[in-house]
């Protein structure tokens, strides 16, 4: 068995394709290569060098070799799916490179697709005090891990859900009308939910409209105002969508008991 790597024995490998095309987002370029083994020994392919037209490696384009894992028996042709990773911030476009095949160069074209991708940290918060109109502030870090500029969106409101509302509503419904049939029970449940459903929580973000370039990070200052009809003795959950990510908040009730002798 002969092992083919970017450093050794790549002159013994034959590729039927005249040009290789890899397509996709920077972190997951994919394509196919048709290999052929014209030798009498099994070829185990592990890696092939990616170089420019002067046979020099291109370190600024991510990994300088194409990683593979396949075996080809003597006289066999095999179509192999291949993948390659470039830096996540590689701008969209078409990049021409070459595979080193002994003394020959085989053209490899990389078509990088535009990608919007962000990372938020943290995405789960616990806040205290569910009193009506109470204002909270949460600070997040946003990192642009795509290859396009990202504009911070405007946030205006999000649903605020009493964490025990459904359990309480069904409990009241079955206790009050459980013996009168399903429809009467569901009517009572629906009415209880209407009475206890909180309004929208108001949201705003200080950095609205800011542009975050690929590879850069930004602080996000998010302000949340409890609904005007929230109950200070109840706990609430708020889930909001930020681009394609979800941020979750739990707002815990906090009502201090008055000491004896105080007004």
Which domains are assigned to the chain? 2-112 (2.60.40), 118-159+198-252 (2.60.40.10)
Per-residue model confidence (pLDDT) at position 133: 94
Per cent of the chain over pLDDT 70 is 86
Residue 221: the pLDDT is: 97
Q: What's the pLDDT score for residue 55?
A: 58
The four Cα atoms 58, 63, 69, 73 give a dihedral, to 10 degrees, of 0
Res. 107: pLDDT tops 60: yes
Q: What is the mean pLDDT of residues 233-239?
A: 90
Average pLDDT, the chain: 86
pTM tops 0.95: no
Split at pLDDT 50, 70, 90, the class of 191 is confident
141, β-bridge pairs: 121, 219
Place of tokens 């034959």: 14
pLDDT of residue 254: 80
pLDDT of the residue at 261 = 60
**Confidence bin at 7 (pLDDT 50/70/90):** confident
Q: What pLDDT digit, counting tens, does each position of 117-168 carry? A: 999 999 999 999 999 999 999 999 999 999 999 999 999 888 887 766 666 6
Mean pLDDT check: name the lowest of 9-23, 54-68, 103-117: 54-68
Per residue in 62-99, pLDDT (tens digit) is 457 888 888 999 888 999 999 999 999 999 999 998 88
């Amino acid at each position: 068995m002969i092992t083919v790597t970017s450093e050794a024995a790549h002159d013994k490998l034959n590729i039927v394709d005249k040009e290789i095309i890899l397509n996709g987002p920077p972190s997951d370029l994919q394509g196919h290569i048709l290999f052929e083994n014209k030798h009498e020994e099994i070829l185990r392919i592990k890696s092939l060098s990616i170089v420019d037209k002067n046979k020099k490696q291109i370190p600024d384009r991510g990994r300088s070799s194409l990683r593979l894992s396949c075996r080809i028996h003597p006289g066999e042709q095999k179509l192999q799916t291949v993948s390659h990773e470039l830096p996540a911030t590689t701008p969209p476009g078409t990049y021409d490179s070459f595979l080193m095949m002994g003394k020959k160069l085989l053209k490899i074209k990389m078509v990088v697709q535009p990608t919007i991708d962000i990372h938020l940290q943290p995405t789960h918060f616990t806040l205290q005090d569910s009193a009506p109109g109470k204002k909270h502030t949460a600070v997040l870090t946003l990192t642009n891990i795509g290859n396009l500029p990202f504009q911070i969106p405007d946030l205006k409101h999000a649903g605020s859900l009493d964490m025990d509302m459904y359990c309480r509503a069904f409990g009241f419904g079955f206790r009050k009308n459980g013996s009168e049939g399903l429809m009467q029970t569901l009517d009572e449940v629906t009415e209880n939910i209407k009475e206890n459903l909180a309004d929208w929580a108001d949201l705003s973000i200080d950095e609205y409209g800011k542009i975050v370039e690929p590879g850069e990070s930004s602080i996000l200052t998010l302000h949340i105002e409890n609904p005007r009809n929230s109950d200070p003795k109840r706990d609430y959950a708020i889930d909001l969508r930020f681009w394609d990510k979800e941020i979750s908040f739990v707002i815990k009730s906090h009502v201090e008991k008055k000491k004896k002798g105080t007004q």
